[in-house]
Amino acid sequence: MISCKRASRLASEKQERSLTLKERFLLRWHLLYCAGCRRMVKQFEFLSEATRGWMSHKD
Ligand SMILES: [Zn+2]
């Protein structure tokens, strides 16, 4: 079990590097029982999608 703090750090690191298998498992496991972090991860994913979309529109 990991804390919300650890989960949110993993979720943000996921945007910059690929997580290890263990980290992915820990994060996914945490998200199963933590609705707050699920929302947070969605936000991260939305932001990174938005950024990607913006980047690709640039050229
Ligand atoms: Zn959490």
> If you write DSSP's letter for every residue of 1-59 in order, what string do you get?
---HHHHHHHHHHTTTSPPPHHHHHHHHHHHHH-HHHHHHHHHHHHHHHHHHHHHHHH-
Q: Distance (Å, rounded) from C-alpha 58 to C-alpha 40?
A: 27
Which segments of the chain have a pLDDT < 50? none
pLDDT of residue 35: 97
pTM for this entry: 0.77
Query: What distance in angstroms lies between residue 29's CA and the mean position of ligand 1's atoms?
Result: 10
Query: What distance in angstroms lies between residue 30's CA and the mean position of ligand 1's atoms?
Result: 6
pLDDT of residue 58: 62
Query: What distance in angstroms lies between residue 58's CA and the mean position of ligand 1's atoms?
Result: 35
